[in-house]
Structure 1
Amino acid sequence: MRTIKGPGIFLSQFIGGQPPFNSLDGLAGWAAEKGYKAVQMPCNHPHIFDVAQAADSQTYCDEIAGKLAGYGLVISELSTHLEGQLVAVNDTYREAFDHFAPAEVRGNEAARQAWATEKVKQAAVASARLGLTAHATFSGSLAWPFFYPWPPHNAQRFDEAFQALARRWRPILDVFDEQGINVCFELHPGEDLHDGVTFERFLALVDNHPRCNILYDPSHMLLQHMDYLSFIDLYHSRIKAFHVKDAEFRANGRSGVYGGYQPWIHRPGRFRSLGDGQIDFNGIFSKLTQYDYDGWAVLEWECCLKDGDTGAREGSEFIRRHIIPVSGQAFDDFAAGGRND
């Protein structure tokens, strides 16, 4: 068994227009002061990290790694959540997602998809240059508008959607395989890959591709009323990245898992800062350690109540407390008999 690496922090929710959140130096100094050892780096802020330049230049990657090392930090993974989303967008969401893409490809589905695909492929090359092994992303969603269908289930519609999703991702997965990097899809409502069943369906269509893996985030499973501990038993061999994010579900008589179109603070299911929700992280860290998870424990902070700076400070210590230092020997080795027992 191996000791889980951490704590790490996903920078996406903290990047902003004011210091220290508007530069890599500022973010790195802030994260290091909070006790983090790694940062998960989004690829949609070129002034923080330029993925195109990283894919083209080993020197640039070495400079980024050296800058972070000066603060005692490394990169845990690169993230293309937004770019991965744009690999597959149902036309229902065209306007909602267009602003994630550059102005020159907005309103042009083919051009937007091509741009997103290229960005994710650049992240594969950049990840290899940086010496990483895993990459965090979203699958996108072609079937999601029909997740709870009426009229009832249309098998052909879902078959076609998942086949199209697999066709779009298979060449990307091959590029990641060439670079030796695992693609870790965050299973997330709103994405076609949002639970074990949908992941299995996609995995089969990409021929059980060795680079098709999972970013495990228990918060999305709790809000779907899934058994997130049994999920680890079932899929541990494919879990290559881990978002440590808390959540709670407070049942009431007015709305349920779909949220009633309400803001997060009023939904029955909502994300919380670490330790303020309902998730059994003792069980999660124990199972991931038992199954020899060899990655980082990365805070993703999304809380509808608590201040982000406080959540980041508390989250660092929370993760540190939950990481299990693996023993080099069994507790009952002292009682082991000789060869002739």
Structure 2
Amino acid sequence: MTGLSTIKGPSIHLIQYLRDTPPFNTLDGLATWAASIGIKALQVPVDPRLIDIHRAATDQAYCDSIKATVARHGVVISELSTHLAGQLIAVHPAYDTLFDGFAPKEYHQNPKAREEWARSVLFDSAKASQRLGLKVHATFSGALAWPYFYPWPQRPAGLVETAFEELAKRWQPILDAFDEVDVDVCYEIHPGEDLHDGVTFERFLKYVNNHPRANILYDPSHFVLQQLDYLSFIDIYHERIKAFHVKDAEFVPDGRQGVYGGYAEWTDRAGHFRALGDGQVDFNGIFTRLTKYGYDGWAVLETECAFKDPEVCAIEGAEFIKRHIIPVAAGGQFDDFAGSGVGKDKIRHVLGLN
């Protein structure tokens, strides 16, 4: 990305709003609701209530019908997301039972079969994204090394390297499949994943040979909770940031707890997510930097506030994003009125070099 770009938005990540009651139980219902609060696009989780991903991989007419469904309400699909399937590409045995719930029941207590199912979802999501005309896909990396993120007991030599080598081995063919259809894979940099900060993302890039489709879903809320400089992160990794979750958070440590949170519930942790504008994230700085570096993707509202009603978060969040999008001038600079009129032919004269 080069030059200034106007960020698109607001979009909304539907995963927090998908329920078993209308209007939140169908894509048509969610599109109706989202449009009513000023949302322009939907980040659609690969869930059978919203999309049959295996059919979408092969049936163009079905994909056209999905696009038509949301278009009736004046919205589009910004991305598909496979966070749950992505998590299942790499699961440490300590989490087998907990993560079984991310897969259909027939794959429970069978890690190999569960991983194969997840791989099929990712491969078909690549083809479906192409048929839907999408260029970006959101997911998680999964994790083999996460239980060892704190070096106690001392990690044996080679543990981290082996974990990332295996993680890359599992993702390489998936990245290649997305490359074939010209779609970027954007890993949400997130605690609980082996890709949870810049260092781990770089480590992964090394093992996938700097694969051009290995990119970043940027979400500053997870960096606040890690006490990472989320603005400098954009300066460093802007060329790989291809997706953006707009989510707020706050970190308020005290004499009893800090980053690790003491196993407390979300409302009682030192760090927790907030509704947009209620937390500590400097979104003026974020939108300015992303605009500066030419990010031209969607600003996607995500809601996981520990306090506020999620529907209220969505209504307020849509307006919050609209206020923060910076419309880029079509051409020219703010100070063009004061131009000297001196052409290149006179530059040497101005410098006193003639």
What interval of TM-score do these two structures reach, taking the shorter chain for normalisation? over 0.9
**The one of 92, 95, 99 aligned to 1:93:** 95
Structure 1 residues 254-290: Cα deviation after superposition (integer angstroms, max 9, x where no partner): 1111111111000000000100000000000000000
Residue aligning to 2:167: 165
2:23 counterpart of 1:20: yes
- In 1, Cα distance between equivalents of 2:25 and 2:184: 29
Structure 1 residues 104-127: Cα deviation after superposition (integer angstroms, max 9, x where no partner): 211111111111011011111100
Residue aligning to 2:179: 177
- In 2, Cα distance between equivalents of 1:224 and 1:182: 26
- In 1, Cα distance between equivalents of 2:103 and 2:186: 22
RMSD of equivalent CA atoms: 0.8
Residue aligning to 2:351: none
Residue aligning to 1:152: 154
- In 1, Cα distance between equivalents of 2:311 and 2:40: 17
Matches within 5 A, 1:308-323: 308-323=310-325
2:72 counterpart of 1:38: no
| TM superposition shift of 1:251 | 1.2
> Aligned to 2:158, what secondary structure does the other structure show?
helix
Residue aligning to 1:253: 255
- In 1, Cα distance between equivalents of 2:229 and 2:156: 27
- In 2, Cα distance between equivalents of 1:132 and 1:13: 22
**The one of 324, 330, 333 aligned to 2:333:** 330
Structure 1 residues 75-129: Cα deviation after superposition (integer angstroms, max 9, x where no partner): 1100000000000000000000011111121111111111101101111110011
- In 1, Cα distance between equivalents of 2:86 and 2:263: 25
Structure 1 residues 302-325: Cα deviation after superposition (integer angstroms, max 9, x where no partner): 001000110000000000000000
- In 1, Cα distance between equivalents of 2:225 and 2:50: 32
> Aligned to 2:84, what secondary structure does the other structure show?
helix
2:42 counterpart of 1:10: no
2:216 counterpart of 1:244: no
Residue aligning to 2:131: 129
Q: TM-score, normalised by structure 1?
A: 0.98
**The one of 242, 265, 268 aligned to 1:266:** 268
| Deviation beyond 3 Å, 4+ runs, structure 1 | none
- In 2, Cα distance between equivalents of 1:253 and 1:316: 36
- The worse-fitting range, judged by mean Cα deviation, of 87-96 and 101-110 is 101-110
- In 2, Cα distance between equivalents of 1:89 and 1:149: 19
- In 1, Cα distance between equivalents of 2:307 and 2:157: 41
Residue aligning to 2:225: 223
- In 1, Cα distance between equivalents of 2:32 and 2:107: 35
| TM superposition shift of 1:26 | 1.0
- In 2, Cα distance between equivalents of 1:105 and 1:9: 30
| TM superposition shift of 1:149 | 2.4
- The worse-fitting range, judged by mean Cα deviation, of 191-200 and 323-332 is 323-332
Q: Which runs of 5+ in 1 are unaligned?
A: none
| TM superposition shift of 1:24 | 1.2
Q: Which amino acid aligns with 2:12?
A: I
Structure 1 residues 125-179: Cα deviation after superposition (integer angstroms, max 9, x where no partner): 1001111110000000000000002122333111110000000000000000001
Larger Rg: 2
- In 2, Cα distance between equivalents of 1:297 and 1:155: 41
Residue aligning to 1:71: 73
| TM superposition shift of 1:47 | 2.1
- In 2, Cα distance between equivalents of 1:279 and 1:155: 37
Residue aligning to 1:201: 203
- In 2, Cα distance between equivalents of 1:272 and 1:52: 35
**The one of 83, 86, 95 aligned to 2:85:** 83
- In 2, Cα distance between equivalents of 1:77 and 1:65: 12
Residue aligning to 1:297: 299
Q: TM-score, normalised by structure 2?
A: 0.95
- In 1, Cα distance between equivalents of 2:252 and 2:303: 20
Residue aligning to 2:289: 287
Q: Which runs of 5+ in 2 are unaligned?
A: 348-354
Q: Which amino acid aligns with 2:97?
A: E
- In 2, Cα distance between equivalents of 1:239 and 1:23: 30
> Aligned to 1:99, what secondary structure does the other structure show?
helix
> Aligned to 1:197, what secondary structure does the other structure show?
helix
Residue aligning to 1:47: 49
- The worse-fitting range, judged by mean Cα deviation, of 92-101 and 326-335 is 326-335
Q: Percent identity?
A: 62
